[in-house]
Amino acid sequence: MNIPDNEIIDALGGSSAVAVLCEVTVGAVSQWKTDGIPKARLMYLKVIRPDIFLSPSKSKEVA
């Protein structure tokens, strides 16, 4: 499933929350909304919050 980067950031609690999770500035995260989340950061976010990346059908199966 391909979720737009800005939706991933919003689902994780917004730019401030993602900045804290990734130990970067809020400005860096805001830039990711247009330029894309760097691959290493995206992999990290998938590990710590896999629920955000589950497809709707898979999340229902888990629940």
| Model pLDDT for residues 13-46, shown as the tens digit of each residue | 999 999 999 999 999 999 999 999 999 999 999 9
**Domain-embedded: residue 40:** yes
- Residue 30 DSSP one-character state: H
Residue 23 has a pLDDT of: 97
Enter the pTM of the model. 0.81
Domain that residue 23 falls in: 5-53
**Domain-embedded: residue 61:** no
**Domain-embedded: residue 21:** yes
Considering all CA atoms of the chain, what is the largest pairwise distance in Å, rounded to the nearest integer? Answer: 37
Contacts of 5 (CB under 8 A, 6+ apart): 32, 33, 36, 37
Q: How confident is the model at residue 6 (pLDDT cuts 50, 70, 90)?
A: very high
**Domain-embedded: residue 23:** yes
CB atoms within 10 A of CB 45: 20
**Domain-embedded: residue 59:** no
The domain total for the chain is: 1
**Domain-embedded: residue 58:** no
